[in-house]
Amino acid sequence: MPPDFFAAALIVARKDLAIEFRTRSAYFSALVFALLAIVVFYFAWDRTAVGSGDLAPGVIWVIFVFGGLLGLHRSFGVEMHDRALDALLAAPVPRESLFVGKALANLVFVLGVQVIAIPAVFVLYKVPLGIEILYVIGLAVLAAIGFVAVGTLFSSMASNTRLAELLLPLLTLPFFIPVVVAAASSSQRVIAGRPLAESMAWLQLLVAFDIVFVYACTFAFPYTLEE
Amino acid sequence: MTRSDASAPEVEVSALARHFGRRRALAGVSFTLRAGDALALFGPNGAGKTTLLRLLAGLLKPTSGTARIEGELLPGTATTRSRVGLISHHSLLYGALTAAENVAFSARLYGVADPEQAALRALDRLGVADRAATPVRLLSRGLLQRVSAARALVHGPRVLLADEPYTGLDAAGAAALTSVLQELLAGGTTLILVTHQLDEGLALATQAAILLRGQVVRHDHTAIADPAAYTAAYRALVRADAA
């Protein structure tokens, strides 16, 4: 009896994470990029002109987007090598479950980078370590859900082309704008010590983005695979 | 249709056609196979053999015509797809995973009980159990092909689509694969075998067909009694087509 929708998604996610754990290529690339970006921004920072609370959110979300893109590119890259994707598509599981599995693995990847990068930004930029860091991590989780939904879909589309590395950022970055604007604005207010109520509209935007794009991308995914 | 209905077709292809833009890859292909039948498909590169197998595996949709497996119209349901196995000329494997992990992953997707043990049994059947713990990126082309065959067979498919399964195999590997395919055929599995190696294809085939430019130009509905004459006829057809 073939596995049900979520069981199939977990099988695919587990396989993707096993490959990443074995090779660690994309994760270390993303982590090195994140730490390098944190250091570069730190040395370019004029403390007399910009406060740490104003700079830190920008650094976090730049790392989030560009570090995450490294993982998204790998997501379908491993399927195209020796056409492993064909075996996945021929399997007796819904194609939507393949998407959810890949998106889950990407979510773990993106959050795995952020769980190191966000505390590093807080420490290096001397942002007070209080409840704010938990709020920013919560925002990263919300932002990551929409980010990987859109990114996984476009990764599958771009992987079939010879210009995958160029196309993926070109296709995805416009879609990431609402996520980045909402997450950066919200985290900037919280780090600056403003009341949480000021961030609620941005939070609602993030949640709405997640709901709409998780559904839309899941159901659009099978159509991106047709030749 | 039930499994006990031995006379019902296992694979039924009717006027199947597939175009890629303006290019016609397959046109008006029809055939019927029953349980235990083996169709050997021959043809030069670009004749449409792989396209036909990809259509039957549910990886492509036909432009026109129909294909049925066990009476169900393709691409079919999950149940239909669970009855089909695909060996491609690509390995369809993940280089970073071991041979056993690759086969077990496939077993899980097909809902095979105890996937790890099933993977080891499948690898053993193809004579590569000793490489179970080796990442497949470290395997030779021939060993990779055997692991690929194990992946396709781990769930016990009723219909096996084999696209150039002998690619890269040495004599021992080819013999192991032929022996497994013969066992499967004896057990009632239906085989569609695409190969450039006419001897190996004809040794297994209960039917043989030649594809040229997407069309079946010759279809023998019985096993070929004289492989040498068939090979000569095939070469003449290909030459005439190329001229």
Residue of B nearest to A93 (CA): B78
Mean residue pLDDT across chain A = 91
- The CA-atom distances, in angstroms, between B62 and each of A91, A98, B24 are 19, 23, 11
CB of B96 within 8 Å of any CB in chain A? yes
pLDDT band at B7; cut points 50, 70, 90? low
CB of A10 within 8 Å of any CB in chain B? no
- The CA-atom distances, in angstroms, between B101 and each of A9, A18, A120, B119, B147 are 17, 10, 36, 8, 11
Residue B243 carries which side chain, given as an amino acid letter? A
- With a CB cutoff of 8 Å and minimum separation 6, the contacts of A36 are none
Contacts of A19 in chain B (CB under 8 A): 94, 96-97
Closest of A211, A154, A22 to residue B105, by C-alpha = A22
pLDDT at position B1 over 50: no
Task: Mutation target for A interface from B55, B61, B92, B153: give the one with most A CBs within 10 A.
Answer: B92
pLDDT at position A20 over 70: yes
B218: closest CA of chain A, how far (Å): 29
Most confident of A132-141, B40-49, B217-226: B40-49
pTM for the whole structure: 0.91
- Cis bond upstream, residue A119 (ω within 30): no
ipTM for the predicted complex comes to 0.89
Residue of A nearest to B136 (CA): A82
pLDDT band at B2; cut points 50, 70, 90? very low
Strand partners, B163: B194
**Residue listed under structure tokens 């055939």:** B31
Instruction: Quote the percentage of chain A above a pLDDT of 70.
Output: 100
Buried b or exposed e, range A38-54, using 16+ CB within 10 angstroms: beebeeebeeeeeebbe
Contacts of B154 in chain A (CB under 8 A): none
- The CA-atom distances, in angstroms, between A170 and each of A164, B112, B169 are 10, 41, 43
pLDDT band at B124; cut points 50, 70, 90? very high
pLDDT band at A208; cut points 50, 70, 90? very high
Diameter of chain B measured on Cα atoms: 54
A208: left (phi over 0), alpha (psi -120 to 50) or beta: alpha
pLDDT at position A227 over 80: no
Contacts of B135 in chain A (CB under 8 A): 22
CB of A82 within 8 Å of any CB in chain B? yes
**Tens digits of per-residue pLDDT, B87-111?**
998 999 999 999 999 999 999 999 9
Please report the pLDDT score of residue B5 as a whole number. 52
Alpha helices in chain B (DSSP H): 49-56, 78-82, 99-109, 115-125, 141-153, 171-186, 198-204, 227-242
Which of A171-175, B2-6, B42-46, B130-134 is least confident?
A: B2-6
Contacts of B111 in chain A (CB under 8 A): 1-3, 92
Would the CB atoms of A19 and B96 count as touching at under 8 Å?
Answer: yes
Task: Mutation target for A interface from B89, B94, B155: give the one with most A CBs within 10 A.
Answer: B94
Would the CB atoms of B105 and A83 count as touching at under 8 Å?
Answer: no
**Tens digits of per-residue pLDDT, A88-138?**
999 999 999 999 999 999 999 999 999 999 999 999 998 887 888 888 889
Would the CB atoms of B110 and A19 count as touching at under 8 Å?
Answer: no
